Chain A
Amino acid sequence: MSNQITGAQSLVNALEQAGVDVMFGIPGGAILPAYDPIYDSKIRHILVRHEQGAGHAATGYAQATGRVGVCIATSGPGATNLVTPLADAQMDSVPIVAITGQVPGPAIGTDAFQEADIRGVTMPITKHNYLVTNPLDIPKAIAEAFYIANSGRPGPVLVDIAKDALQKMTDYHYPTSINLRGYKPQTEPSSQSIRDAAALIAQSVKPVFYIGGGVIKANAAKELLKLAELVGAPVVTTLMARGAFPDSHHQHLGMPGMHGTVAAVTALQKADLLITLGARFDDRVTGKLSTFAVNAKIIHADIDPAEIGKNRHADVPIIGDLGPTIRALIPAVEAEFKKNQPDLTIWWRQMGSLREKYPLGYNEPADGSLSPQYVIERIGAITGPDGIYVAGVGQHQMWASQFVKYEKPRTWLNSGGLGTMGYAVPAAMGAKVGAPDTPVWAIDGDGCFQMTNQELVTCALNNIPIKVAIINNESLGMVRQWQSLFYQQRYSNTDLHSKRIPDFAKLAEAMGCVGLRCDSKSDVDKIIKEANAINDAPVVVDFNVHRDAMVWPMVAAGTSNDDIMIAKEMAPDWDSQEL
């Protein structure tokens, strides 16, 4: 019995054995036993200021590194504060593991102090979850949690551990192999599906690569580049896939969807074949589904069988990891092309002219005030494609997806599926911890920033020098844009007055960061460079921008992609296009 250790020590041993190097969390009553061995562990524990920050930090870490992010919290309110980041990670398929303390086993179900049924609460927003009441089960639950989180379609897993299980003595056995009979992701695509897909590609004269975030999760960007150049078709990258294919590549038409480029949206609409890789036909991409790409056949490759046919019927479904899938497609397509390689000249003439005629752009505000798009464009241009850009949710997010040029995967982090305002600061913190030598810019809105900026304290105290650009239009900008367009400029509750209160630069200073402010175009480059030069403290720049700037193009919610507008009440000039 002398080899016995506490459940808490067993947990920490298991986390170490799972390869955890850092976790984000806050202690509390039920998880307290675990914090004692954490004190001695080689795992770096970063004490955050709010559990939501821990969750998004784990996500940012995972998205930047491809490793599993870890957050830890106590029972009850600690655990429920993780709900938003868990739902966020579930929607964007991010591998994170959340550890929560639970009230002692005998107290479960008695409405004990700080008791919440977090397993029940998080069932619909996690890939899987556990409640552990026997200390012997701790290492197995941890090993399985990491395996489930980071295999197949990645996602969040929560492990809830009763306090008495952490306190009791137990034997430690970390499983040498994991066999979950109900969980066996299919990673190798069927050869038949690959042949069928290649045959369709060889028949298509209007193909488009519809690229989703799955390509980044699968680390398949290099393979994609090869396949795309082989096929020669236009490529569009969704909000979750920005960076999966270089923006500078001549085949890239940009982002499709509600705020996509005219060329990307139209390419999908007019295609005869969508080569869909790791995308899920989200409503923000398809617009009104019944009018989406009506003439296109669909190749749909995804590791999650439940995505196939969920929103759009797949003519050729391919179930598997995108790495092996694309590697198998390349020779299959080469073989087909030896028999017949379609001529895409006409298709490219059409798409090329759309791209030329309707590039992304913006007008400078007439009153000479600062344009938010310009600020974001300059942050990207000055920091370069090696930087990591993390956005909140709203107008600034769309502009950051449009005007920063991405060349590599894992350089663009955002909350795409859940649309979580407040994501940027903590996710940037996590990304910077995972990639300490890379400049990390949070491009945030003044609304988003005020939801989670407390984590700047964490950054300042833990030597995590992120940079934050607050695109301050003193309003909930995207909501205001909809009020401008659809609610007769009745700006109900979207004015945040954040040019008056708070003083963001002073707030930043109070939290141990460098606080800067920029009001004019002529100062933008200088201040960005100044921020980039600071590496011993977090920097916050309050960019005082014009409040009426809008995100264009736009496909209004519920309407067809065919009705894309390039500005208010302005459709592209379709008549002059030969489509």
Chain B
Amino acid sequence: MAQHTLSVLVENSPGVLARVASLFSRRGYNIDSLAVGPTENPEVSRMTIVLNLEGHALDQVSAQLFKLVNVIGIQEMKSTNSRQRELLMVKVSSSGNRNEIVALAKKFNGQIVEESSDSVVVEAVGTSKDLASLLTEMGKYGVKELVQSGLIAIEIGDTTLAERTLQETGLATSESHSQTEDYQN
């Protein structure tokens, strides 16, 4: 099993999320996280999907996703060619340790966004790995509540996913093209 991150441009129309979710459900693909939000174009939304898959399945997932009429483009985001971030908010017990918690949050580029009598809310943005480390360290103060967003990712460099998918007419994933190239090598 390997983790893959797919960025999927979809038409901003009702039912798109249900179509994608239904496809993943009926074909038995496991979603680790899913984030949906607006893009620079109001007609287009962007989904970032983190999946756990075996071997050739990514080609198949991309091809099946691309069959959805509302899906405009798909691109695999690799850790080497993209910046990937998640947002975490955690409510931690703070009796007597408030300064330590502030210091720990800062170490992870986080901040305290809410303070109450017995707890603070720490907010941090980072990679899954960074946030996991932060959480482990916060553990000793007592995590009362945790909420974390799905991962979002953006490609490094000047090209954008929208430009790329406008140019391509066939399959929009680099992975799917790689299969076509396999036999040529």
Binding site for B on A (CB under 8 A): 119-120, 123-124, 127-128, 131, 148, 180-184, 186, 190, 192-193, 196, 304-306, 308-310, 313-317, 319
Contact = CB atoms under 8 A, between A and B. Distances in A.
A182 B72 contact: yes
Contacts of B68: 128, 182
B18 A120 contact: yes
Interface string B168-182: 011100001001100
A173 B64 CA distance: 33
B183 A196 contact: yes
B63 interface: yes
B179 A131 contact: no
B170 A186 contact: yes
Contacts of A128: 68-69
7 contacts: A120-B15, A131-B14, A184-B169, A306-B60, A306-B63, A306-B67, A309-B56
Nearest to A200: B183
Contacts of B69: 127-128, 148, 180, 182-183
A182 B169 contact: no
A193 B182 CA distance: 12
Contacts of A309: 56, 59-60, 179
3 tightest Cβ-Cβ pairs between the two chains A and B = A306-B63, A128-B69, A182-B72
B70 to A, nearest CB: 5
Nearest to B26: A124
B60 A310 contact: yes
A304 B176 CA distance: 13
A480 to B, nearest CB: 31
Nearest to A298: B183
Interface string B12-29: 001100110011001000
Given A182-B11, A317-B179, A317-B183, 14 more contacts: A120-B18, A123-B15, A124-B26, A181-B72, A182-B10, A182-B68, A186-B170, A192-B184, A305-B63, A306-B67, A310-B60, A315-B183, A316-B183, A317-B180
B11 A306 contact: no
Contacts of B120: none
B71 interface: yes
A119 B184 contact: no
Contacts of A148: 69
A308 B179 contact: yes
Nearest to B176: A305
A177 B94 CA distance: 63
A308 B63 contact: yes
A183 B56 CA distance: 24
A193 B180 contact: yes
Interface in B28-64: 56, 59-60, 63-64
A123 B184 contact: no
Nearest to A192: B184
Contacts of A120: 15, 18
A230 B176 CA distance: 32
Nearest to B21: A123
Contacts of A131: 14-15
Given A124-B26, A180-B69, A182-B70, A306 B19 contact: no
A128 B11 CA distance: 14
B180 A123 contact: no
B72 to A, nearest CB: 5
A264 B12 CA distance: 48
B185 to A, nearest CB: 11
B181 to A, nearest CB: 10
Contacts of A186: 169-170
A552 B68 CA distance: 40
Nearest to A311: B60
Most chain B beta-carbon neighbours within 10 Å: one of A123, A184, A310: A123
B18 to A, nearest CB: 6
Most chain A beta-carbon neighbours within 10 Å: one of B10, B56, B63, B169: B63
B67 A123 contact: no
A128 B68 CA distance: 7
A309 B180 CA distance: 10
Given A131-B14, A182-B11, A196-B184, A123 B19 contact: yes
B56 A313 contact: yes
Nearest to B181: A192
Nearest to A307: B63
A123 B183 contact: no
Contacts of B183: 196, 314-317
B22 to A, nearest CB: 5
A319 B170 contact: yes
Contacts of A304: 67
Most chain B beta-carbon neighbours within 10 Å: one of A127, A181, A184, A192: A181
Interface in B66-121: 66-72
B171 A124 contact: no
Contacts of A119: 15
Nearest to A152: B67
B61 to A, nearest CB: 9
A120 B18 CA distance: 8
Contacts of A306: 60, 63-64, 66-67
A127 B60 CA distance: 17
A186 B169 CA distance: 8
Contacts of B26: 124
Contacts of A314: 183
Nearest to A305: B63
A131 B70 CA distance: 14
A182 B176 CA distance: 16
A289 to B, nearest CB: 13
A149 B22 CA distance: 20
B69 to A, nearest CB: 4
Nearest to A316: B183
A310 B55 CA distance: 12
A128 B13 CA distance: 13
A181 B71 CA distance: 8
Nearest to A195: B184
B65 to A, nearest CB: 9
B169 A305 contact: no
A158 to B, nearest CB: 12
Nearest to B11: A182
A308 B171 CA distance: 12
A369 to B, nearest CB: 45
Contacts of B10: 182
A300 B59 CA distance: 15
Contacts of A310: 60, 63
Nearest to B15: A119
Contacts of A196: 183-184
Contacts of B180: 190, 193, 317
